[in-house]
Structure 1
Amino acid sequence: MIHVGRLIELKLHDQGRTVTWFATQLCCTRPNVYKIFSKESIDTYQLWRISCILGHNFFQDLSEAVKTDLFTS
């Protein structure tokens, strides 16, 4: 199972973005961003917003993880 919050956190850091920048883009506080990072799963609308903000298709990452799990089980 993929941990969505960690995936988001890694992508944010890979892009050299700060938590403060990300919180501003999401219109939330820094503590809320850290709560997102700790979540194993996330609401699809929120994931869509995050995908748009970071310019990365997290849905594709999840889809690939499902395919991998199906073929390795």
Structure 2
Amino acid sequence: MEKSIGDLIKEELEKQERSISWFARKLSCDRSNVYRLFQKESIDTTLLFRVSLLLKRDFFSYLSERLKEKMQSQDSQ
């Protein structure tokens, strides 16, 4: 099963040992919004860009790889 973008962000935050409070403060939002972000299957690209910069991880590349895999899968059918 593929992980959602919210799961990936949560995992990266935990990997970096960053707190929810730190993340919320850096994103200028409430902690409750961060928890909602973790539950999302998709998010706005502007927000994903900000998150990628903040956590220094290119989440777009993960999505791009998933896209390539799906396209290859369709081509082989």
Match for 2:52: what amino acid? S
Q: Could you tell me which residue of structure 1 aligns to residue 9 of structure 2?
A: 8
TM-score by length of 1: 0.92
Q: Could you tell me which residue of structure 2 aligns to residue 65 of structure 1?
A: 66
4+ aligned runs moved over 6 Å, structure 1: none
TM-score by length of 2: 0.88
Match for 1:34: what amino acid? Y
Q: Who wins on radius of gyration, i.e. which is larger?
A: 2
**Distance change in 2, residues 1:63/1:2 (3 Å):** farther
Structure 1: unaligned runs, 5 residues or longer: none
Coordinate RMSD, CA, aligned: 1.2
Task: Please give the residue correspondences for 1:12-51 in structure 2 after superposition, counting only pairs within 5 Å.
Answer: 12-51=13-52
Match for 2:53: what amino acid? C
- How many residue pairs match? The answer is 73
User: Match of 1:42, SS?
Assistant: coil
Structure 2: unaligned runs, 5 residues or longer: none
